[in-house]
Amino acid sequence: MSSLILRTATRYIQPILVLFSVFLLLAGHNEPGGGFAGGLVAAAAYTLYAIAYGVEEARRLLYVSPQGLAGAGLLAAAGSGIPSLLYGKPFMTGLWHEGDVPGFGEIAVGTPLLFDVGVYLAVIGVTLSIVLNLAEEE
């Protein structure tokens, strides 16, 4: 498809969708969202780009292969359980570290966030792998 209107709109909408997907990822523990919902929104953003500019341009914009994203996501999600074993707790027990970040104040970062990031990457990778392979078949 070669629509000037779609290409122009995609140029503005795609970065907003990716930013919103990161918001969903980070808001997931206290509000609706999380790695799965954020990953689907990010995959939708790249799917929109693939529709507007073509699959090859979308793959170029992604920088890494979708299979690589899925693998990194699975590794991060599974690896988020290892720190709890090192502290003598059951696998996948949530551990938190609080610290002071200049400009943001005190924040807490933990293994549940690492798990959510893993799910986020895995969902993006699997979804884009399916969508981009189906789009290339045309």
DSSP string, 17-61: HHHHHHHHHHHTTTSS--HHHHHHHHHHHHHHHHHHH-HHHHHHH
Residue 95 is predicted with a pLDDT of 85
For the ranges 32-36, 60-64, 122-126, the lowest mean pLDDT is seen at: 32-36
Segments forming the whole domain that contains residue 39? 4-136
Residue 138 is predicted with a pLDDT of 61
Total domain count, the chain = 1
Residue 1 is predicted with a pLDDT of 60
Stated pTM of the model: 0.89
pLDDT in tens, 89-131: 998 888 888 877 787 777 777 888 899 999 999 999 999 999 9
Other Cβ atoms closer than 10 A to 30:
7
- Determine the Cα–Cα distance for residues 1 and 74; give it in Å rounded to an integer: 34
